[in-house]
Structure 1
Amino acid sequence: MTRDLEVSRVRSEGITRRDLLHRAIVLALGSLGGFGLAGRLATAGRQTVAAAQTLFDRIMLPPEITPTGDFYVVSKNPPGFDPVVDAGRWRLEIAGLVGRPITLTYDEIKALPSVQRPHTLECISNEVGGDLISNATWRGARLQDVINKANGVAPKAIQVAFRCADGYTESLPVAEALNPDTLLVYEMNGAPLTTKHGFPVRLLVPGHFGMKNPKWITKIEGVDYNFMGYWERSGWSQQAIVKTTSRITTPSSGHMMYKVGDDVGLGGVAYAGDRGIKAVEISADDGKTWQSAQIKPPLGKYTWVLWAALWKPTAPGEYTLRVRAQDGTGTLQAREEVATLPDGASGYHWIRIRVSK
């Protein structure tokens, strides 16, 4: 996506180009003297503006769109046992509590009006600071349009259930299934889904962990009872709502030694499902004080954001750096460290670096 389109989207949300530049300048100034108040304000001038404009170019960050080959993969199946589906023979059955049961071919689904959007997925078993999170551009049909081919969901239905070629099962409340932003996707990053990512079709639903986005779907049915999916029957959350998370990706484990006065580039990603990210903060004193990081405008309302900052250590020693984020509602990421089971991990990601004279 071009910079003009990014700025256009931000402007539509009430933020002007001038606001963005102002924020960038303030953040860059704050980085001149570590995490204290911005110093030497009068002499910063054009160098500060340039630093603000190029901060994301100077710091190595993950690509905003994850290449398909690098996109995380989680499956209930042993390696080599994921289903390989023949699109020519595959059929999608729509049954249960619907107006009229039908089957659809791959081409019939692709013939429906399509929607393309960037969208981040994160596994519910992703540890704090883990890499089971990725962002791609997807294309597919609205699930609502697919179900309408069967004359819609019957009034008695309370959930829409999904059955998959590998025996996986999942469900959504009817209202979420019929949300216009819930998609049945067949493309990823401009190409048909790969086998690992659910060819021929998978679900893409806002705000939920990856387990609620089943792959290799073969049947959709309306049901009038609480349908428990594969992982839910093993004790995982049925709602599986994405928690606000942030991660430090730079510096990496291979570069943790610096000298006093070095400009240390810090950066990473933050994600909060369908709530978006309002702010990211970093701490160089193990969470005692916090300083705002710069956020790159998101590619879409359901994607992660990239964040970046500069830190200049003023004394030798060992430092614990932490990151935290606020979601779009202003709610701060949970600090309490919680394991992944049953509804996802929480806590602040941290790294430790050493600074010498």
Structure 2
Amino acid sequence: MRTSTERYVRAGISGLVAVGCGLASGELVAPAVSPFASPYQAVAAFLVDHSPAFARQFAIDTFGTDDKSALMIGMVGVIALLATSAGALQTRRPPLGLVVVVLVAAFGMIAAATRPTADWSYIVPPVVAGLVSGVVLVVLCRGSNPRSDDHALDVGSRDGVVPGGGWSRRRFTGVAGVLVLVSVASVVVARQVSRAGGVMAERARAMLPTASSPAPPVPGGAELHVDGVTPFVTGNDAFYRIDTALQVPQLSTRDWRLRIHGMVDREVTLSWDDLLSMPTMERVITLTCVSNEVGGDLAGNARWLGFPMRELLDRAGVRPGADMLLSTSIDGWTSGTPLAAITDGRDAMLAIGMNGEPLPLEHGYPVRQVIPGLYGFVSACKWVVDWEITRFDRAQAYWTKRGWGVQAPIKTASRIDRPAPLSKQPAGRIVVAGTAWAQHRGVRGVEVRVDDGPWQPATMSTEYSVDTWRQWTWDWDATPGQHTLHCRATDAAGRTQPEQRVAPIPDGATGWHSRVVRIEG
């Protein structure tokens, strides 16, 4: 019984160590190919790209901005299960364990080869990972199946081989331990190599130019200073992040280029220095993710510094008939923006600064797009390196290929920030407060209702611009009992939020936000 139990334990450990060594070797080789050639990251990106819409929305709804971490943790669990299975099969019925390794490596090759930026070299890391995993699996499994009595297992021989052809416990543990240490060291080296370009250090040293057209000062009335209400300007650390980049691209200003081509009079390629030679603009603009549920927090307001996109397009000369800007990120992600939203006079910009700092890496350093009034999936391309001027009937972007909306203007929204949901409050005066937005149209007002009572107008903060959100408050004389608070906003054109709840996908959620509170007498 003891021999049998130890055999199974060793088999599982053999599989885990073998696959771990393979993954580590793949990560070590990947930086020599491309910053995006990691087999692990390639598989994760493949799963994101090919998962059904309901699964993606479930991940965002459940894990929020931690959806990528949840995916990585889930992958670790699946890989561990496959690894232990490979070890067990290779020990009991060789070469079935190797078959599992080959299949996993083949999947990694497919995932790597289908990345948007891939060439033939992208298959090298998963091939190396598969070869290393296979060799280590065979070696460890041969030593993990002792056919000896309990005494031999405990004592072993001087060279670590016990009667029956297996390894002693000490030798097996030692070899496995060394391989684990080598794997960990390989991953550490790979991470250091991938950071050798010094993009983080470059950002820390970067100095932003002074805005040629500075943003108007924020009036005192734009911030109501009510506890529990989202601040008017969202800090960089608190700003939401929703994108498909499982590995944050690290692109230096030295290597950055923007190619403008397609339906243009002349193709243009801009460098970082070319960009800095242009006049800069600074604007406060609210961005919103299409995945934001009614009452959600996937919206943020920041002070952006950048360059007018319209002037960049003028350099290339847009030909008649074009109606779409297809923007491509350094990692291959694409967005399709209506050209009208860039040329109609709104403050569409190629941003390099956020709240007085160079863009954080995760928010698009060194260059990203900021376009008021459109959901991010059709406008807010981060790490942007390519603009193709085209038509909507000729090209599709990443999310539109998956059934999402095409034009995607931001819908009017409002939410209750306080009181907290399901909270207990004393009877009497209670300040109900929240935030509302209708970018590039502006918010005219917000109304609040208790249960099925009449709608009451809220007090609005001073409007900064039609491209930013507004705070609101309403004083409630609360009576004992359980109550449901509702809010709705009306935009500057007089259109009020509809009551009917609509899911975020394909082009944005609608419906009134509500909160249940308990008033104690």
TM range (shorter): 0.7 to 0.9
Taking structure 1 as reference, are residues 222 and 324 closer, same or farther at Cα in structure 2, changes over 3 Å only?
A: same
C-alpha displacement of 1:3: 11
Residue identity opposite 2:326 in structure 1: A
1:336 aligns with 2:500: yes
- Report SS of the residue matched to 2:237: helix
Taking structure 1 as reference, are residues 239 and 5 closer, same or farther at Cα in structure 2, changes over 3 Å only?
A: closer
Provide the residue aligned with 2:386 in structure 1: 219
- The alignment's TM-score, normalised by the length of structure 2, stands at 0.56
Which of the two has greater strand per residue?
1
Provide the residue aligned with 2:401 in structure 1: 233
- The alignment's TM-score, normalised by the length of structure 1, stands at 0.80
1:71 aligns with 2:236: no
Aligned counterpart for 1:168 among listed residues 326, 333, 336: 333
Q: Which runs of 5+ in 2 are unaligned?
A: 1-213
- Answer whether contact 2:304 2:354 (CA < 8 A) is retained: yes
Taking structure 1 as reference, are residues 85 and 247 closer, same or farther at Cα in structure 2, changes over 3 Å only?
A: same
Q: How does 1:20-39 map to 2 (within 5 A)?
A: none
C-alpha displacement of 1:257: 1.1
Aligned sequence identity (%): 35
Residue identity opposite 1:341 in structure 2: I
Aligned counterpart for 2:367 among listed residues 201, 210, 220: 201
- Answer whether contact 2:443 2:489 (CA < 8 A) is retained: yes
Provide the residue aligned with 1:37 in structure 2: none
Provide the residue aligned with 1:6 in structure 2: 219
Which of the two has greater helix per residue?
2
- Report SS of the residue matched to 2:224: helix
Residue identity opposite 1:325 in structure 2: A
What is the alpha-carbon distance in structure 1 between the residues aligned to residue 352 and residue 481 of structure 2? 51
- Answer whether contact 1:202 1:215 (CA < 8 A) is retained: yes
- Answer whether contact 1:110 1:140 (CA < 8 A) is retained: no
Taking structure 1 as reference, are residues 108 and 3 closer, same or farther at Cα in structure 2, changes over 3 Å only?
A: closer
What is the alpha-carbon distance in structure 2 between the residues aligned to residue 110 and residue 217 of structure 1? 16
Q: How does 1:208-357 map to 2 (within 5 A)?
A: 208-212=374-378, 213-224=380-391, 226=393, 227-253=395-421, 256-261=423-428, 263-285=429-451, 287-313=452-478, 315-357=479-521
C-alpha displacement of 1:297: 1.3
What is the alpha-carbon distance in structure 2 between the residues aligned to residue 309 and residue 100 of structure 1? 55
What is the alpha-carbon distance in structure 2 between the residues aligned to residue 57 and residue 126 of structure 1? 24
- Report SS of the residue matched to 1:64: coil
Provide the residue aligned with 1:121 in structure 2: 287
- Answer whether contact 1:182 1:205 (CA < 8 A) is retained: yes
- Answer whether contact 2:324 2:391 (CA < 8 A) is retained: yes
- Answer whether contact 1:59 1:308 (CA < 8 A) is retained: no
What is the alpha-carbon distance in structure 1 between the residues aligned to residue 358 and residue 293 of structure 2? 29
- Report SS of the residue matched to 2:290: coil
- Answer whether contact 2:294 2:510 (CA < 8 A) is retained: yes
C-alpha displacement of 1:240: 1.1
Residue identity opposite 1:191 in structure 2: E
Taking structure 1 as reference, are residues 75 and 225 closer, same or farther at Cα in structure 2, changes over 3 Å only?
A: closer
1:155 aligns with 2:368: no
Residue by residue over 1:232-278, the C-alpha shift from the partner in whole angstroms, topping out at 9 and shown as x without a partner, is 1111101111111101111124x8212222x2111110011211100
Structure 1 vs Structure 2 CA RMSD? 2.3
Provide the residue aligned with 1:13 in structure 2: none
Q: Select between 327-336 and 109-118 the one with higher mean Cα deviation.
A: 109-118
- Answer whether contact 1:59 1:265 (CA < 8 A) is retained: no
Taking structure 1 as reference, are residues 318 and 142 closer, same or farther at Cα in structure 2, changes over 3 Å only?
A: same
Q: Which runs of 5+ in 1 are unaligned?
A: 8-52
- Report SS of the residue matched to 2:231: coil
Residue by residue over 1:98-143, the C-alpha shift from the partner in whole angstroms, topping out at 9 and shown as x without a partner, is 1211211122212211111110011001001111011001111111
Runs of 4+ aligned structure 1 residues displaced above 6 Å come to 1-5
What is the alpha-carbon distance in structure 2 between the residues aligned to residue 3 and residue 191 of structure 1? 18
1:131 aligns with 2:297: yes
What is the alpha-carbon distance in structure 2 between the residues aligned to residue 329 and residue 224 of structure 1? 29
C-alpha displacement of 1:59: 4.3
- How many equivalent pairs are there? 305
